[in-house]
């Protein structure tokens, strides 16, 4: 998977770190080859599996990709969902989808990370006592 080449993983990780440097929120990316179920259900499964709901302010965001099946989802925890506008996640998905359609998978994920980061920064700004609660590495799901 070209997406998982080391230089691409590093670009995504750097985007996560840049976004998180401005917020107390947490962003994760989870990638699989295939998703044989509803993509949102699969994203919710990994949200729980990766303990995204265990952040102090319930402000975790997960971007899930099933590369071979061309499926993706972006979901947030209760804290961020309570404050962003209703259409925020759909707008973010459309920004990502535009890049995906042009064949720019990594750039699309980075755009999603940046959008999520801006929302997290607005509602959950960085504080001096913030600690990184979740890994910034891409999680490779089960195939």
Assess if CATH 3.10.310.50 describes domain 20-126: yes
Residue 104, CA atoms < 13 Å, CB-side half-sphere = 13
Decide: residue 104, CB within 10 A, 0-12 exposed, 13-18 middle, 19+ buried.
Answer: middle
pLDDT of residue 14: 97
pLDDT of residue 127: 83
Where along the chain do its domains lie? 20-126
pLDDT at 1: 65
What is the block-wise mean pLDDT of the chain (143 residues), using blocks of 10 residues?
84 96 94 95 96 91 95 95 91 95 94 95 87 84 72
Closest CA to 134 of 23, 6, 5: 23
pTM value? 0.94
Q: Is 120 helix (H, G, I), strand (E, B) or coil?
A: helix
Q: State residue 38's pLDDT score.
A: 97
């Amino acid at each position: 998977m070209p997406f998982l080449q080391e230089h691409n993983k590093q670009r995504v990780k750097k985007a996560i770190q840049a976004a998180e440097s401005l917020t107390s929120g947490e962003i994760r990316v989870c990638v699989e080859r295939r998703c044989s179920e509803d993509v949102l259900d699969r994203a919710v499964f990994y949200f729980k599996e990766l303990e995204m709901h265990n952040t102090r302010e319930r402000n975790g965001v997960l971007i899930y990709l099933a590369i071979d099946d061309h499926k993706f989802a972006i979901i947030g925890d209760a804290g961020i969902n309570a404050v962003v506008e209703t259409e925020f996640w759909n707008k973010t998905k459309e920004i990502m989808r535009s890049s995906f359609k042009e064949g720019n998978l990594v750039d699309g994920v980075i755009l999603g990370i940046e959008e999520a980061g801006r929302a997290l920064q607005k509602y959950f700004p960085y504080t001096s006592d913030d600690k990184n609660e979740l890994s910034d590495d891409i999680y490779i799901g089960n195939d």
